[in-house]
Amino acid sequence: MLSEFSSCEQQAQEILEKIHERNKQQRSGANYSKLNSAIRVQMKKFSRDLVTLRQGLSKASSAYHITQRELERRQNMLDNLASKEKQLNDASKNDQVTAPNERSNLFGNQGSAGFHDDPWATEESEETRGLGVSDIRQQQTRVMDEQDQGLDVLSTIIARQKQLGQAIGDEVDLQNELIDDIQGGVQKTDARLLKETRHVKIVDKKSANCGMIVVIVLLLIAIVVVACIPK
């Protein structure tokens, strides 16, 4: 996504250069009309690309693919591009635009040609002072590619953590089901124990009643035997 920001920055620079070239031409000339048409086409594409960047940033934010700090940085870059879009629209209507300083624009410090100072820009470092414009562009592109790779790795790690969390959640659900099954078995066992306990009590009561009957029968037999013995 950072390469798309870089592409938009480059588009803005190209549009501004065309505006400057157009303003050198006579209004009635063929080159003026040709450049003017090309500027309008590029401005429309630039606006569409900004809309795409906004949508992509919104999706990345809602899906937590980037950190809050990175989100704020990209939002700042997007705001800067939106500001440049307005400035380009104003510049395209003004024939008195001066030539841009391409090297300064790489660092966002150029205030001429309709571009105001970029509050998010950085000062040129010692490492880039001896480099040409193309070398600086390549260096910036390489840095943004490395940042994209780092974000891709971070996104992969987050995706793995999400999968691990889902796997843990599935395992917890399975263990909960096993615990529910065990609880159900325990409840059934308790019910059977209570039932068997009642049966034992009933058997004990019947056994006690049978013993009393045996004692009574034996007493009756003894009485009869005693009565039958002659005196």
Q: pTM, whole model, 2 decimals? A: 0.39
- Close Cβ partners of 20 (under 8 Å, ≥ 6 residues apart): 97, 98, 99, 100, 113
Instruction: Give CA–CA dist 169/188, Å, rounded.
Output: 29
Q: Tell me the per-residue pLDDT of 77-115, one tens digit each, with 9 for 90 and over.
A: 888 888 888 888 888 776 544 444 445 555 554 444 444
How far is residue 15's CA from residue 91's CA, in Å, rounded to a whole number? 10
pLDDT given for residue 38 in this prediction: 87
pLDDT recorded at residue 96: 43
Structure tokens at 83: 């500001």
What is the number of other CB atoms lying within 10 angstroms of the CB of residue 188?
Answer: 10
